[in-house]
Structure 1
Amino acid sequence: MNRRQFLASAGLAGTTILAGCGSLSSQSTRAPPLVENRPDATYRPTHAEGMGMAGMAQAGEYMVGLSYSFPHRFWTVTGTTAEKVDIRSKDSVHLMATVWDPETEMVLPVSAGLSITVERDGETVADKSPWPMISQNMGFHYGDNYALDGDGVYQLSVRVNGMGERRLGALEGRFNEAGEATVEFDFAQGTRDQLSFEEFPDAQGERAAVDLMNMDMVPTSQVPEVSALPGTVLGTDKGSDGVYAVTWLQDAAFLADGESYLAVSARTPYNRVPLPMMSLDGTVDADGETVFQDALTAAVHPEIGYHYGAIVETTAQEPSVGVEIVAPPQVSRHEGYETAFLTTPSFSFSGG
């Protein structure tokens, strides 16, 4: 199984972030049994775990926030199939990395991925690339379970690859190059065991989601409210439980004369976590003719967030738009998302 893994860290060890509300217990690395008859949609998981900050580092133009929790079960995705990854007895932590732009504080899903080498006393403990992941309380991040060699100080060498996504607005021309950093992570199992572990016996399986964590030192990976999207919002629709908002921009600074911009913002319900690494096709009809029919490009813009878009040669104010999901988000999922966002729906939005 191919893996894309990551983590890193510096001197913020000991900071604990709580997971939300529920019945609290602690010192557990064993997840409760999965909900029976899980819906093919977002659902409230059996439990939510707290998170400890391992540190932050600047890696080239990127900022990286590094955190850890108990080892997690999670699901990798290939095409439209999710495959469960169980917790191994040797796993010590679930390591997580969030990457963002320090100027706009926008979280950046980098499809080219990350890598990390974990060393201790000059010996390599782990060398793998993490999975891009979505989690109800941790949002979009890169993570995996790691087997560490007991308590102690670990050197974590991180490489964040350059972005292949289109960068627009204040992000244009940035993040072309990879960034690297080496930090230290002082791991103690006793500290890990003090993280919160909350179970939801009466609410698990409901069509709902755990709230995103409030992380003072790390931005939250959310896309804007639909009402806050720039341009003219042509509509929203829901398919495979993902929420898709389509907006049409005509006066953006990155557009030339005679051009407009189609943007499709895909997000989870409840928490507005972006759904990255999808394949989408789009069609734009204006004045009785098709003016665009092609793949949409993954892109980032400070006001639109992570989205899929295309520059279209038309000045039509409210065209008719068709969107086809060719492949669902190729990101791993924590519990509560593993049965959602796995099909390939199509939508249409009629302009004025």
Structure 2
Amino acid sequence: MNRRRLLKSGLGLLGGTSLSGCLSSLGFETQSAWRDPPLVENRPTAVYYPAVVEGMGLYGTTTAGDVGFALMHSFPHRFWNLTGTNKTKVVVQPDDSLHLMVSAWDTETNTILPLDISAEISDTSGQVASNNLWPMLSPNMGFHYGDNIGLPGEGQYDITLRVGPLQTNRTEPFENRFTEAQSATMSFTFDTDETYNLTYRQLGEKAGSRGTVDLMGMQKIPKPVAPPKSNLPGRLIGEGSSGDARFFITVVEGGTRFGKAGRPQMIVSPRTPYNRVILPRMTLSTTVKRGQKTVFQGPLQASLDPEISCYYGASLPGVESGDSVSITVQTPPQLARHDGYETAFIDMPPIEFTV
């Protein structure tokens, strides 16, 4: 495909090639790069390769009860918040020092947890920052929590991460777990030489084309991914795409951890199209028709299971061959998005199929 033009106010690609290095080695001023990195023009309404991919570093890990945390850092950078279907661009402010990122998971099963997370940061003088972290999607990290943070200077800080109770349905292995607030405190050292010398990779000719980079792997930190289609429980009855998200729909018969009172359970497993990144914080519903009769109509409840991670489900009388099924996205994923995801998963028409 033809290379897409880039908006270059402040920072441009070097010769259209894919380069990597720290900002200083590429000849860029850090403040210029943060405020206005290149942005692909005429971006597709889908997941796409951004113009640049920023590296990230690990400050450390800790636990609070059976919740594991990883604290990571990168350059301050722009992102987009989503409220309903309304998108708001968040630009880097002059006093932003770094972008902090957090992953949270169940230490027993390594299942990523869709919790609400806040961060309080202090130094020897007292509290210097307090943020409710945004649930986010980024190309190289997938689903996580993060925000740009302003700090008074370099040095050592304490950060307290707080999570509320899990606000989602859960299968039997998670019953009576994650029902209370938890908190953990750890220390980190903000060093501009460390953060501002992270990798800054330019994607050159790939920028603007559909696709994405691989997820970064960090030892002992689970990846936020849904299982392959072949590993989903039950009988596959349909699949489709909406807003560039992939959906797989199965039915699990009664008598399992998914069903209620012996009734079959419909499981809807959405994910990003390339790395199978989970898509929590959606509102879905389904309608099942048999001829002119509506067999079931109702919400698909956001749920969590240790084997299939985040999914949406409903107990229903059953699904037979010839039934028509529609999956309606009432609210798209309420997730902030980094470059590469900000145009996807917003306009999401129904998925319709016949079993």
TM-score by length of 1: 0.89
Q: Does the Cα contact within 8 Å between 1:109 and 1:140 map onto a contact in 2? A: no
Alignment partner of 1:48 is 2:44: no
Which residue matches 1:105?
Answer: 110
Alignment partner of 1:189 is 2:154: no
Alignment partner of 1:248 is 2:251: yes
Alignment partner of 1:206 is 2:209: yes
Alignment partner of 1:310 is 2:314: yes
Q: Deviation above 3 Å: which 4+ runs of structure 1? A: 285-289, 313-320
Q: 1:325 to 1:218 in 2, by over 3 A?
A: same
Q: 1:37 to 1:291 in 2, by over 3 A?
A: same
Alignment of 1:1-352 (within 5 A): 22-27=18-23, 28=30, 30-31=33-34, 32-110=37-115, 113-251=116-254, 252-285=256-289, 289-314=293-318, 320-351=324-355
Q: What CA deviation, in whole Å up to 9, does each residue of 1:124-171 have, x standing for no partner?
A: 111110110011111100100001121111111111111111111422
Question: Aligned partners of 2:259 and 2:84: how far apart in 1?
Answer: 34
Which residue matches 1:8?
Answer: none
State the Cα distance separating 1:349 from its structure 2 match.
2.7
Q: What CA deviation, in whole Å up to 9, does each residue of 1:243-302 have, x standing for no partner?
A: 111111115234245401111111111111111111111123358743321111110112
Look up the equivalent residue of 2:329 and give its one-letter code. I
Q: Does the Cα contact within 8 Å between 2:161 and 2:183 map onto a contact in 1? A: yes
Q: What CA deviation, in whole Å up to 9, does each residue of 1:75-132 have, x standing for no partner?
A: 000111211111112111100010111111111122xx11111111142111110110
Q: What CA deviation, in whole Å up to 9, does each residue of 1:190-229 have, x standing for no partner?
A: 1112211101121100111011111113110000111211
TM-score by length of 2: 0.88
Question: Aligned partners of 2:206 and 2:187: how far apart in 1?
Answer: 39
Match of 1:26, SS state, is coil
Structure with greater Cα Rg: 2
Question: Aligned partners of 1:315 and 1:134: how far apart in 2?
Answer: 34
Match of 1:141, SS state, is strand
Look up the equivalent residue of 1:50 and give its one-letter code. G
Q: 1:336 to 1:254 in 2, by over 3 A?
A: closer
Which residue matches 1:14?
Answer: none
Look up the equivalent residue of 1:239 and give its one-letter code. S
Q: 1:317 to 1:69 in 2, by over 3 A?
A: same
Q: Does the Cα contact within 8 Å between 1:258 and 1:313 map onto a contact in 2? A: no
Look up the equivalent residue of 2:138 and give its one-letter code. S
State the Cα distance separating 1:188 from its structure 2 match.
0.9
Q: Percent identity?
A: 41
Match of 1:216, SS state, is coil
Question: Aligned partners of 1:254 and 1:173: how far apart in 2?
Answer: 16
Match of 1:202, SS state, is helix
Match of 2:304, SS state, is strand
Range with bigger deviation, 300-309 or 253-262: 253-262
Question: Aligned partners of 2:18 and 2:165: how far apart in 1?
Answer: 40
Q: 1:256 to 1:342 in 2, by over 3 A?
A: closer
Q: Does the Cα contact within 8 Å between 1:68 and 1:95 map onto a contact in 2? A: yes
State the Cα distance separating 1:344 from its structure 2 match.
3.1
Q: How many pairs does the alignment contain? A: 329
Q: Does the Cα contact within 8 Å between 2:164 and 2:182 map onto a contact in 1? A: yes
Question: Aligned partners of 1:317 and 1:177: how far apart in 2?
Answer: 43
Q: 1:99 to 1:270 in 2, by over 3 A?
A: same
Q: Does the Cα contact within 8 Å between 1:59 and 1:160 map onto a contact in 2? A: no
Look up the equivalent residue of 1:136 and give its one-letter code. P
Q: Does the Cα contact within 8 Å between 1:40 and 1:340 map onto a contact in 2? A: yes
Q: Does the Cα contact within 8 Å between 1:266 and 1:307 map onto a contact in 2? A: yes
Question: Aligned partners of 2:321 and 2:158: how far apart in 1?
Answer: 54
Question: Aligned partners of 1:78 and 1:255: how far apart in 2?
Answer: 32
Q: 1:322 to 1:166 in 2, by over 3 A?
A: same
Q: Does the Cα contact within 8 Å between 1:221 and 1:273 map onto a contact in 2? A: yes
